[in-house]
Amino acid sequence: MRLKLRTTEYGEFAVDNESQNYKLQISQFRSNTSTAGDSLSSSWDNANRISFSIYGHDYDNLFYNNCALTYHGAW
């Protein structure tokens, strides 16, 4: 088996506490040290400053869907 991993680095990466619904805080994408792209803050569904979505609480940017239900994921 061959496995190819890629990484992304940010100068700032933090997750807020429960009272803030675990809001993601990211900035300063480091393209010179990253081997993957910036899919969290530069995509059409930017996850920066978005609270963590779960099945019963939809906080993501997908106006037509719930990320937790559709993709079994978070932001």
pTM of the complete model: 0.65
In this prediction, residue 31 carries a pLDDT of 92
pLDDT beyond 80 at 75: no
How far is Cα 68 from Cα 74, in angstroms, rounded to an integer? Answer: 6
How far is Cα 67 from Cα 48, in angstroms, rounded to an integer? Answer: 15
Domain ranges across the chain: 8-75
> 7, 46, 41, 39: which is closest to 27 by C-alpha?
41
In this prediction, residue 16 carries a pLDDT of 93
Strand 10-15 and strand 24-29: pairing?
antiparallel
> 32, 69, 74: which is closest to 10 by C-alpha?
32
pLDDT tens digits, 18-70? 899 888 899 999 999 999 988 777 766 677 888 877 767 777 666 667 766 66
